[in-house]
Amino acid sequence: MSGVEDHVTMLGQDSPIPQSPEEAVLDRVPNPHPDTNYVARFTAPEFTSLCPVTGQPDFAHLVIDYVPDQWLVESKSLKLFLTSFRNHGAFHEDCTVAIGKRLVELLAPRWFRIGGYWYPRGGIPIDVFWQDGDLPQGTWAPDQGVQPYRGRG
């Protein structure tokens, strides 16, 4: 797999922000509880990318949930990966699904979902949801906790 590391490459050292998501390296570490189904959650309330048409910034609140199997994503590498989108032009749907697919490729989790709750631009909010696999029976996955956009009405 391209861009996949089975060891930690960024902790304890200066790590520049990757110039693009393609250049970003995601690290993974062994799951200390591979015999247990549990949900790990990452929340990125200030995610930023660029509109591919206008070049204007787009903002989202991302919620990433997964049930790990053998691997966990290392959080510093995930933060740098997500930050690499700040100069990346792509539509909301592409950003959300591409992040999900990259993490599924890296981790091969038992279950994965991402919710991209995008702030309105041009008067229309776009929320994007993607899931891979079925939640293992008996595993609790809480609501993502992000209210749908209601505007001022």
| Helix%, strand%, coil% for the chain, nearest 5 | 20, 30, 50
Protein fold of 4-132: GTP Cyclohydrolase I, domain 2 (3.30.1130)
Residue 58 among the catalytic residues: yes
| Token reading at 93 | 């749907």
Residue 65 among the catalytic residues: no
Q: Which of 27, 58, 65, 95 is catalytic?
A: 58
Query: Structural domain boundaries of the chain?
Result: 4-132
In tens digits, what is the pLDDT along the chain, a chain of 153 residues? 344 445 677 777 888 999 999 999 999 999 999 999 999 999 999 999 999 999 999 999 999 999 999 999 999 999 999 999 999 999 999 999 999 999 999 999 999 999 999 999 888 889 999 999 999 999 999 999 998 777 665
User: What's this model's pTM, rounded to 2 decimal places?
Assistant: 0.91
Q: Sign of dihedral through CA atoms 22, 103, 79, 55? A: positive
Q: Sign of dihedral through CA atoms 139, 149, 49, 132? A: positive
